[in-house]
Amino acid sequence: MDTKFETIIEERDNLKEILRDPLATWSFGETSLGLFCVLFVYLDLVLKILPAYMKDREPYKLKRLLTLYNAFQVAFSGYVVLLYAKYIYQHGIITTRCPKGDDLKAVISDIKPYFIAKHIDLLDTVFFILRKKTDQVSFLHIYHHSAMVAWTWYHYLYHPCDHFVVVGLINSLVHVALYAYYGLSSLGPEYSKYTWWKKHLTKVQLIQFMLVISNLYYQQKLTPCPIPAEFHYFCTFLIASFFCLFLNFYFRRYGNRKILEKINPESSLHTS
């Protein structure tokens, strides 16, 4: 009996050690509150404060600032691509090692740059408003940025894991191309001949979403340590909603042009 009792005590202590929070992750409530504060500031700034500020002002050029910003975004996204490519090379596209302790601390360290990147991305909206490019500040734009911030908050602060390494790599790779395009566009109309591939960016984004959904499905299905089902479905829903919204954007932007060109081939000369 004594041996059995000692075994139970030992197992209890081991369980306490496992459940102890050495990484100081946030609770769901704490994460949600912090996220709410960030999104409240962002939405209030871009939907009310900045539009009111710019109402009777001329648009800012911001040419030099945008050149530096986009160059930084390309470089930072490229860094994240290399960081996650190294991780995938070491542990595979479907990670099954269930990192704990120091291994998990290293994973959290790798998550941090992507977490930071999604907040830096919010400056896109600020710059659009300051330049009075209000057509760019669409529901899709606001929703996409807000949702990605939400994803990274729950991933980095509440449930850190290595399940989204492929997601981060694919998304960062797309951002290298996206900010390269933004950078060239910000240099002026004389550089428009170098941005002929603009419409293909949306196609790349749509392919990105399909690859990400596939990876989320198989990562959750094959891993010995799946993430909570509600978090998995939350992430899958976000990506599926992105796909639908971007597909709708693509057909509205480019579908009508193709129809117009079929009716009158010369009309392509007058569209941009």
For residues 32-56, give the mean pLDDT. Answer: 97
The amino acid sitting at 72 is F
Identify whether the C-beta of residue 122 lies closer than 8 Å to the C-beta of residue 42. Answer: yes
Tell me the pLDDT tens digit for each residue of 124-140.
999 999 999 999 999 99
C-alpha distances (whole Å) from 71 to each of 76, 77, 78, 117, 176 are 9, 10, 11, 14, 9
Q: What is the pLDDT of residue 22?
A: 53
Identify whether the C-beta of residue 80 lies closer than 8 Å to the C-beta of residue 114. Answer: yes
Please tell me which residue in 91, 141, 144, 270 is annotated as part of the active site.
144
Identify whether the C-beta of residue 198 lies closer than 8 Å to the C-beta of residue 181. Answer: yes
Q: What is the pLDDT of residue 12?
A: 52
C-alpha dihedral over 238, 240, 243, 247, to 10 degrees? Answer: -120
Tell me the pLDDT tens digit for each residue of 83-115.
999 999 999 999 999 999 999 999 999 999 999
Q: Is the pLDDT of residue 21 over 80?
A: no
Q: What is the pLDDT of residue 266?
A: 42
Q: Is the pLDDT of residue 270 over 50?
A: no
Tell me the pLDDT tens digit for each residue of 185-241.
888 888 888 888 888 999 999 999 999 999 999 999 999 999 999 999 999 999 999
Q: What is the pLDDT of residue 188?
A: 82
C-alpha dihedral over 175, 245, 38, 72, to 10 degrees? Answer: 10
The position carrying tokens 């190294």 is 86
Asked about 144 being catalytic, the answer comes back as yes
